Structure 1
Amino acid sequence: MSLLDGFRRVRRVNTPDRRAAAWLPYALVLLAVAASLTGLTVRPTAGTPSRTVDYVIVAGAPGLRWDDLDPQRTPALWQEATRGSIGWLSVRSAQRVTCPADGWVTLGAGNYAAYPRPGAERSRCDPPAPELTRPDAIGANITNQRNVVRDNQDRLPYGAVPGALAETLRCTTAVGPGAAIMAARPFGRVDKYQADLPANPAPLLSDCQLSVVDLGTVAGSGAERAAAVARADAILARVVAARPERSLLLVAGLSDTDRGSRLHLAIAAGEGWNGGWLTSAGTGRVGYLQLIDLAPTVLTALGKAWPEKLFAGRAATVVPGRPAGVADAVQGPHNADKRATAQRAVAAIFFTVLAILLFLLFVAIVPVLGRARRHSRPTRPALPPPHLVAGFELALIAASLAIPAALVADATPWWRAGRPAWAFALATAALIVVGTVLIRVAPRYQRTLWPLGASAGVAAVVVAIDLLTGAQLQLNGVAGYSATIGAQYAGVGGVGVGVFVAGLLVLSGCLAQWVSKPWRPVIVVLLGGVGVVMVGSPYLGADAVGAIAVTAGVCVAAAISTGGWLTFPRFAWAALAGLAVTIGFAVLDLRRPALEQGSLGRLLTELSNGTGGPAMQRAAAANGETLLHSPLTIVAVVGVLMLVFCRFSPWGGLSRVFGLHPALRAAGAGIAVATLLAGILGGTALVVAGAAAAAVVPTTVLTVLRVLLHAADRTRPEGETDGPGGPALRKSDEDHLAAR
């Protein structure tokens, strides 16, 4: 090359266009960060409560469910449900199972509370029986109320104050023992009390702004249960006939009556509350309400402010779009209680079986990995047979598709089958087979990274489509969450976050290998920014804490996607980018009214006003319980052990995979950071990491197997034939070495 040619080349490199092109990746990264922040800060407009009323009547029937209603047997309940707004009521309290007394005290506290029970009664749910005295003919006293308040304040991590609702009102009326528990002030006084509804209840129901009526406990089955429902309906009919003008009637099946958790009935009837679905900012899901939402609903309907530091719920609002018929809305094929109950049982079976199968699969493939790498010694172990390798490849692909297939299987009505577990298993197995076949018959199957990238892409796309369509497969889905637990009702669950983040980062790592080094962080940040918005947007994933964790993982992955280690400068830039998104979102979230704040804003508000301690205590307790009881903990541990084996064993092969494809090592680091942070901060321990491990570790092992089978392709004797993926792998190696 002449001196003139060399000068021209240098000049071309230093032209303004080339300098601009060098900065383009960084500009795109900043654009992606800004877009992520914008997507997180946009929130839906909060619903406005219905018009105020002069009186509120709360009629509670512990155990009452939607399948108890019938137009002939329960005409009063059916009529109020037809003309009022309705919803599914989650009756979570401070107890694992909400018994009638727990439901009543939680309703009165506006927060997760519990009613003390003697040791002999803790194994069953009895009707409420408070220690009542009648010092006068007007009201009553609950003699042990101070003990109830002290027990909730000192022993339980929710900061509930039994009687907080009654304490905000000048006067309350209670009819029945359960109503007395709710209406008692923190020092035990019930303003006005009647053991039974009088013959003419109209004067009693108009004495105070809030009246509480115990409709009786609905328990048992068969004729016993039908009789209890009929009695509740008869009492409600008398209440409806005597209710004053400009009043709101709230009917709630406010607890369970056995040792299982169920969804119950919620009805709001009154002017402005007709013909819609009930919802609240606390659930974020149309048609779902929490028991703790009823206390702020009462005060909002009366036009009064409610103590936000004491109440954990949010006021109910009405959303149109409900079917006109009650049966069409909540019974038969639309019975969410039946689906949620089936989900909890089948989910436990599914994830337990998945953990066992993954463990057995990983144990079985260890000898194959040991024989896969060629040795230079004169005597060397024979390579595993091609048909055995092909069988393990298909098994590993199928294992990685198990959770995405389970998520799609929730679109089928498996829970309505006579044997729901078998119906779900058949649907999931069929989807796994279809997905495995599609990946196997693809023209690019022999490419080293194709099974890993394709399965990761399937996982990310399945979760993304679900979130874009309202997360319908998450709610009461085996791979989602159950509304009966009372922890989440909308958005993406812990399993979904793990599968989505792992799939997205692995896919970005595979795609980044196709571009030059300066552009690899761009690929990671662009796809990662989409993930942040999908997880954190209140329209989609509605998990702000999860979005922060994903941001941290994406920043780490982008920092080391070009190769090398996570040096201090790289870590500093990644940390600054993550903090920018987190702080920006937190600041904008805190500027909103308290009722419109997301989970991050509420947490920071609690920390600032000194009430964040119970929230942190609850998160720690949830982490501990989930860590010990979730099968996904086993999946996470087994997955990590398998990766450690593949990385550090003499024939591991994972080091070679990372050396050939540094963007995959970056994706693995980002997944570890994101899933661990999301699990710990979200109170789900290793659930997120376990779901991520189930989605990507099997196909990572498959990639390791392919690399080991061709680790000595350059030095093997002439005349040996290529195995599966051989030519593509060698071409990839040569391209990579040439690029370096």
Structure 2
Amino acid sequence: MAALAACGGALALPGPAQAAPEPEAEGIIVVGVPGLAWSDIDEQVTPNLWELAGEGASAAMSARTIGSWTCPEAAWVSLGAGERAGGAAPRDAQCEAQSQLQAPVGDDGAWSVPAWPDLVEANTAFNYGARLGSLADAVAVMAAEQEAAAAEAEANGEPALEVEAGSCVAGIGDGAALAAADTEGRITFWAPGLDALPAAMDTCDIVIVDPGVVIGDTADNAPDTATDYDQLGEDDTEVGTEETSGAEDEEPGEIAPEADPVRAAAAQAADTAVGDVNEQLPDGWRLMVAGIADASAPSALHPVIYSGAGIEAGGLTSSTTGRDGYVQLVDLTATALAVVGADLPGTVAGAPVSVLPDAEHTSAGAVATGIDETAASSAVADVSWPFYVTLSAVGCLMVAAAVWLLCGGDRHRTLARTVCVAVAAMPVAGVAAGIPPWWRSEQPTLVFWALIVAGVAVITVAASLPWTRHGVRPTLLVAGLAAALIAIDQVSGATWPLHTPMGYTAQAGARFTGLGNYAFSVFAAAVILLVAFVPWRGRARIWGPIAIGVCAVVIVGAPNLGRDMGGTLTLVAAGILTCLKLWGRRLSIGAIGAAGGIALGVFAVAGFLDYLRPEADQTHLGRFVASVLDGSATQILIRKADAAIGTIGNSLTWISLAAVIGAIIIWRKRAPVRTDAVGAAVIGLTAVALIGALVNDSGIAIPGFTIALGFGLLAITVGPARTAPAVPDLDRAAARPRTPGPATS
């Protein structure tokens, strides 16, 4: 019951039906500038953007839509849908095809997007359920409701209700037409240039502006076009930004550090357009400027600046990120609807941004923070793929060392034991690497690997001291350190995962806070080892594992901590099976079914309690329950299943395959150790690996990290087989006939 309450959050009964939200301002203009980066905002080059960054509220934004980078066409369509959507044109590494946008077709003042059917058809292939045109339709619904209420009041003889004028979305520029169109591809107001901005504001209270500028690099300085970044996978994508230091031997895919006159000219053109819009902004309106897309692969974070009526200087956040200073592209759609008082439709995945006032907020500070956040995210993406490949490679060596330790001869056992400890220490060092700001160094990759090597060395030495290297002590030391580091991080606000491959990257837009799947795997494996091998005595053998298990579930699933719905389900089931085996119970089909049923029950109750909280405070768990109720959960499950299947064959597949082969060899060459503690550890680790792979979209990575921490430590704990000394069979000796000896006198 404690786990249920903690994971679900405080139970809050739903209140009475709420009236339509009041408008926050008279209107809002959203200016989208594909490719705009924080490093483009300069006091001399882009003075208008620089001034807005100091006067308004700002944040780093993930523009992630479909795939590992977002081109302009996909970004504009996603802005109109409020959900991740893709473009109809091919998505090449230079975004050339999706940067060539068609102008709307006009007929007697009515405008429509000519390629709209192609866009709708293209998005049916994705499992995000994007409903193109949701922004315009939501505003139209608000207008229809106002007119219906006014007509009803008039029919009842009540005082006439005022119907708000301008309940529509206008577009200026070719890209803006994609965002301003309704679900049929029609646009209420469209114009090609900013000279029509006053007319647009007179007509509609939401105006989307495309200045017609993509801030990118020249062909010589842009990343290569030969690499299919999607095939590398979300976490394998190498990312380079303008802040990346360069050299003659710079790796392909990194952007050269020299100032690009083409990029500078594009930034100046965008700045001029933003200045023109800001000058014409009425007192009661708001302005939002955002780098809504990447100019080319790979992806990066982009700036968003919010200013105007009622907006104080400071930072921004949203409930979709749960982290100060970060928002997502789909949040812009929700923000525009909130400004004009329109209800948020279920098809809009974003949430309105919230302003975090800061009296010390300045242009220089905002830009410096944005550049630092972008550099951190890009640096993590740069080191992630080599980290995973290295972990998988040394993990295969660790499996071989564990097999030798359990089944081999006496030679090289010390070396095998050291390898097992060192590999188990690598993911722990990966978690700790997020503490220092390594990405700020001149050689971030070198510093990162120095941190990893140092962390592995310290942990390995600590587990090899005379008073820690015997018996179960190395396992308890490494597992305890892993669990403690991750628990401390979650309780202190989960600040480390954004800066390490063991967490998540903000530019991916999948998770910004809480417990990522990789760290969960390490945490769950550590908890299983602690539960199994702590030398419990007396009643502590019952209550000790329960206490550790409940605390671990709270850390993983609580709305203000881990927020990991798949991890909650996995850890509850694995923890129950571990405890049953530890207590000497037989794991029958019924027992396994009961463990699964309890896990599903905890998941359902916690999700329902989270769903009852205000929508802005809900986590992934509560939003998943909402998707079950509105019928969209199937798309989510299919999308996650596709993502999990897509991980098969990546770098962490090999350590999993090696572990299966190693386990078979150990089973055949050495009878299983029949102790409850070892059996509990084996059952628990296997359950984390298998269930986690099935219910998390990280797929094969879950068993990969579980094996990296748990396989070698388990082998060290079991230790080499000991041959029992020969003992004479006394019964047979007594029954053997004796040869009579010589007679004695």
TM-score (norm 1): 0.83
Change (3 A) 1:248 1:123: closer
Cα separation, 2, equivalents of 1:486 and 1:586: 22
- Tell me, yes or no, if the aligned pair for 1:521 and 1:559 is still in contact at 8 Å: no
- Tell me, yes or no, if the aligned pair for 2:652 and 2:700 is still in contact at 8 Å: yes
Indicate yes or no: 2:246 matched with 1:226: no
Indicate yes or no: 2:503 matched with 1:480: yes
- Aligned to 1:436, the other structure's residue is in SS state helix
- Tell me, yes or no, if the aligned pair for 2:404 and 2:416 is still in contact at 8 Å: no
Deviation at 1:399, TM superposition (A): 1.0
- Aligned to 1:401, the other structure's residue is in SS state helix
> What is the aligned counterpart of 1:507 among 530, 536, 555?
530
Deviation at 1:571, TM superposition (A): 3.7
Change (3 A) 1:334 1:64: closer
Give the structure 2 partner of residue 638 of structure 1: 658
Change (3 A) 1:132 1:262: same
Deviation at 1:479, TM superposition (A): 1.3
- Tell me, yes or no, if the aligned pair for 2:76 and 2:176 is still in contact at 8 Å: yes
- Tell me, yes or no, if the aligned pair for 2:287 and 2:307 is still in contact at 8 Å: yes
Cα separation, 1, equivalents of 2:92 and 2:295: 16
Q: Which has the higher contact order (CA 8 A, sep 6+)?
A: 2
Deviation at 1:419, TM superposition (A): 3.4
- 1:57-79 Cα offsets, whole Å, 9 max, x none, are 00110010111101222111111
- Which amino acid is the alignment partner of residue 130 of structure 2? A
- Aligned to 2:64, the other structure's residue is in SS state coil
Cα separation, 2, equivalents of 1:159 and 1:204: 30
- Aligned to 2:203, the other structure's residue is in SS state coil
Indicate yes or no: 2:125 matched with 1:155: yes
- Which amino acid is the alignment partner of residue 157 of structure 1? N
- Tell me, yes or no, if the aligned pair for 1:65 and 1:264 is still in contact at 8 Å: yes
Identity %: 28
- Tell me, yes or no, if the aligned pair for 1:73 and 1:230 is still in contact at 8 Å: yes
Indicate yes or no: 2:75 matched with 1:103: yes
- Tell me, yes or no, if the aligned pair for 1:157 and 1:615 is still in contact at 8 Å: yes
**Which structure has more helix as a fraction of its residues?**
1
Deviation at 1:244, TM superposition (A): 1.4
Aligned positions of 1:265-304 closer than 5 A: 265-304=303-342
Indicate yes or no: 2:476 matched with 1:453: yes
Indicate yes or no: 2:574 matched with 1:603: no
- 1:53-108 Cα offsets, whole Å, 9 max, x none, are 11110011001011110122211111111111111111111244210111111001
Indicate yes or no: 2:74 matched with 1:74: no
- Tell me, yes or no, if the aligned pair for 1:100 and 1:127 is still in contact at 8 Å: yes
Indicate yes or no: 2:615 matched with 1:618: no
**Stretch moving more, 216-225 or 290-299:** 216-225
**Stretch moving more, 551-560 or 598-607:** 598-607
Give the structure 2 partner of residue 581 of structure 1: 602
Deviation at 1:568, TM superposition (A): 4.8
- 1:227-278 Cα offsets, whole Å, 9 max, x none, are 1111111111111111112111111100001121111011111233212221
Change (3 A) 1:334 1:668: farther
**Stretch moving more, 675-684 or 450-459:** 675-684
Indicate yes or no: 2:715 matched with 1:701: yes
- Tell me, yes or no, if the aligned pair for 1:206 and 1:244 is still in contact at 8 Å: no
Change (3 A) 1:112 1:43: farther
- Aligned to 1:87, the other structure's residue is in SS state strand
- Tell me, yes or no, if the aligned pair for 2:405 and 2:720 is still in contact at 8 Å: no
Indicate yes or no: 2:519 matched with 1:496: yes
Cα separation, 2, equivalents of 1:605 and 1:715: 67
Indicate yes or no: 2:395 matched with 1:355: no
> In angstroms, what is the RMSD of aligned CA positions?
2.7
Give the structure 2 partner of residue 728 of structure 1: none
Give the structure 2 partner of residue 649 of structure 1: 668
- Tell me, yes or no, if the aligned pair for 2:53 and 2:366 is still in contact at 8 Å: no
- Aligned to 1:441, the other structure's residue is in SS state coil
- 1:508-552 Cα offsets, whole Å, 9 max, x none, are 1111x4324x64232222101111000111211111331122111
Deviation at 1:347, TM superposition (A): 1.0
Cα separation, 1, equivalents of 2:699 and 2:653: 8
- Tell me, yes or no, if the aligned pair for 2:312 and 2:357 is still in contact at 8 Å: no
- Aligned to 1:174, the other structure's residue is in SS state strand
Cα separation, 2, equivalents of 1:71 and 1:264: 18
- Aligned to 1:238, the other structure's residue is in SS state helix
- Which amino acid is the alignment partner of residue 473 of structure 2? W
Give the structure 2 partner of residue 379 of structure 1: none
- Aligned to 1:501, the other structure's residue is in SS state helix
Give the structure 2 partner of residue 340 of structure 1: 377
Deviation at 1:716, TM superposition (A): 8.8
> What is the aligned counterpart of 2:202 among 206, 209, 219?
206
Cα separation, 2, equivalents of 1:42 and 1:145: 43
Deviation at 1:406, TM superposition (A): 1.4
- Which amino acid is the alignment partner of residue 633 of structure 1? T
Give the structure 2 partner of residue 462 of structure 1: 485
Cα separation, 2, equivalents of 1:663 and 1:322: 57
> What is the aligned counterpart of 2:458 among 434, 439, 451?
434
Aligned positions of 1:308-323 closer than 5 A: 308=346, 310-321=347-358
Indicate yes or no: 2:276 matched with 1:238: yes
- Tell me, yes or no, if the aligned pair for 1:451 and 1:699 is still in contact at 8 Å: yes
- Which amino acid is the alignment partner of residue 263 of structure 1? L
Give the structure 1 partner of residue 178 of structure 2: 181
> What is the aligned counterpart of 1:561 among 578, 582, 585?
582
Cα separation, 2, equivalents of 1:323 and 1:490: 25
- Tell me, yes or no, if the aligned pair for 1:43 and 1:539 is still in contact at 8 Å: no
Cα separation, 1, equivalents of 2:387 and 2:463: 23
Runs (5+) with no aligned partner, structure 1: 1-33, 373-382, 718-740
- Tell me, yes or no, if the aligned pair for 1:322 and 1:329 is still in contact at 8 Å: no
Cα separation, 1, equivalents of 2:378 and 2:359: 23
Deviation at 1:364, TM superposition (A): 5.2
Cα separation, 2, equivalents of 1:365 and 1:570: 30
- Tell me, yes or no, if the aligned pair for 2:103 and 2:174 is still in contact at 8 Å: no
Cα separation, 2, equivalents of 1:44 and 1:356: 47
Indicate yes or no: 2:543 matched with 1:528: no
> What is the aligned counterpart of 1:249 among 279, 287, 303?
287
Deviation at 1:118, TM superposition (A): 5.0
Change (3 A) 1:586 1:371: closer
- Aligned to 2:586, the other structure's residue is in SS state coil
Deviation at 1:322, TM superposition (A): 8.1
Deviation at 1:127, TM superposition (A): 2.3
Cα separation, 2, equivalents of 1:322 and 1:451: 50
Deviation at 1:149, TM superposition (A): 2.0
- Which amino acid is the alignment partner of residue 418 of structure 2? L
Change (3 A) 1:368 1:560: closer
Cα separation, 2, equivalents of 1:50 and 1:680: 44
**Stretch moving more, 569-578 or 66-75:** 569-578
Cα separation, 2, equivalents of 1:587 and 1:362: 42
- Tell me, yes or no, if the aligned pair for 1:479 and 1:495 is still in contact at 8 Å: yes
Give the structure 2 partner of residue 133 of structure 1: 105
- Tell me, yes or no, if the aligned pair for 2:75 and 2:293 is still in contact at 8 Å: yes
- Tell me, yes or no, if the aligned pair for 1:524 and 1:557 is still in contact at 8 Å: no
Change (3 A) 1:421 1:322: farther
Indicate yes or no: 2:425 matched with 1:401: yes
Cα separation, 2, equivalents of 1:62 and 1:265: 11
- 1:209-229 Cα offsets, whole Å, 9 max, x none, are 011111321111611101111
Give the structure 2 partner of residue 197 of structure 1: 194
Cα separation, 1, equivalents of 2:288 and 2:130: 22
Indicate yes or no: 2:183 matched with 1:172: no
- Which amino acid is the alignment partner of residue 207 of structure 2? S
Cα separation, 1, equivalents of 2:209 and 2:587: 64
Change (3 A) 1:716 1:362: farther
> What is the aligned counterpart of 2:560 among 509, 518, 539?
539
- Tell me, yes or no, if the aligned pair for 1:50 and 1:273 is still in contact at 8 Å: no
